[in-house]
Amino acid sequence: MKLLAGKKAVILGIANERSIAYSIAKLFKDEGAELGLTYVNEALGKRVIPLSEELGAKFVIPMDVTVDGDYENLKKVVEKEFGHVDILIHSLAFANGEDLKKPFIETSREGFAQAMDISAYSLMKLCNTLKDSFSEEASVLAMTYHGSVKIVKNYNLMGVAKAALECITRYLSIDLGERKVRINCISAGPIRTLAASGIPGFRDILKDVEERSPLKRNVTQDDVANTAVYLASRLSSGVTGQVIYVDSGHSQVAL
């Protein structure tokens, strides 16, 4: 029996074939899930719509998490196409390049608010929007990075936003727990994706994981997808409010 047979999964955050969310969608489909996908804007839609066809998605709709009306639309489409939601994947983040390039101390108020809104608050608003659509035993998953709890050079503002995302996950676990719905984060090691491209020093971080992590290799999108299947399935039935690391053990090594 497939682990996600007949489950209805809404997945946000596919930009292209390298996106973590794309590997999750692929593996979910292999495990029997039905997919509903979102993309941010028309430019990305050109890439995501063909991918959604290849994945046999039930629906693919535009959704910008800064736009209130897009949440209402998501709810409407979910009710019409799926009826209910068994799995919600939040795999998106944003901080503007200007703020990421500047010394952290110079972060603008607007840049701070935008990074928090897109990368952290969106998880709360999505859960609130879909709360009456979640099935009993539904599972919500968000992607995070270790720069939330330790200083990682250049991660800066995103580290603050990820700290909020992880904390939001803990508090949401109470509200969702009342409905038997679980919520967890996956903390992924560095992976070369669109979000990671052009980040100064990113190559050095990849090299450090290869040299110093217990597994002596970088993780892949598929490593993350494997844990996503576990967290989305009954195999993780007693797990909620947690941050599960998929990072070759790198975060456990001190020196």
Which residue out of 22, 145, 171, 245 is catalytically annotated?
145
Q: In the set 93, 95, 176, 209, which binds ligand NAP (CB under 6 A)?
A: 93
Nearest-10 crossing angle of helices 20-30, 221-232: 50
124 binds, among ligand 1JT, ligand NAP, none (CB under 5 to 8 A by kind): none
- For the segment 125-164, give every residue that binds ligand NAP (CB under 6 A): 143-145
Query: Tokens 């603050």 identify what position?
Result: 160
Confirm whether 171 is a catalytic residue.
no
CA–CA separation, 57 and 108 (whole Å): 39
Query: What's the number of CA atoms in the CB half-sphere (13 Å) around residue 101?
Result: 4
Interaction residues for ligand 1JT, span 103-132 (CB under 6 A): none
Q: ∠ CA 174-71-98 to the nearest 5 degrees? A: 90
| Candidate residues 85, 155, 228, 231; the one interacting with ligand 1JT per rule CB under 6 A | 155
163 touching ligand 1JT, by CB under 6 A: no
Q: What is the amino acid identity at position 9?
A: A
* Interactions with ligand 1JT, residue window 175-204 (CB under 6 A): 190, 195-196, 199, 201-202
Residue 217 interface partner, choices ligand 1JT, ligand NAP, none, CB cut-off 5-8 Å depending on type = none
Edge-to-edge order in the sheet of strand 59-62: 59-62, 34-39, 8-12, 85-90, 134-144, 182-188, 243-246
**For residues 25 and 11, is the Cβ–Cβ distance under 8 A?**
yes
Residues within the interface to ligand 1JT (CB under 6 A): 93-95, 100, 145, 147, 152-155, 158, 190, 195-196, 199, 201-202, 205
Residues within the interface to ligand NAP (CB under 6 A): 13, 15, 19-21, 40, 44, 64-66, 91-94, 118, 143-145, 188, 190-191, 193-196
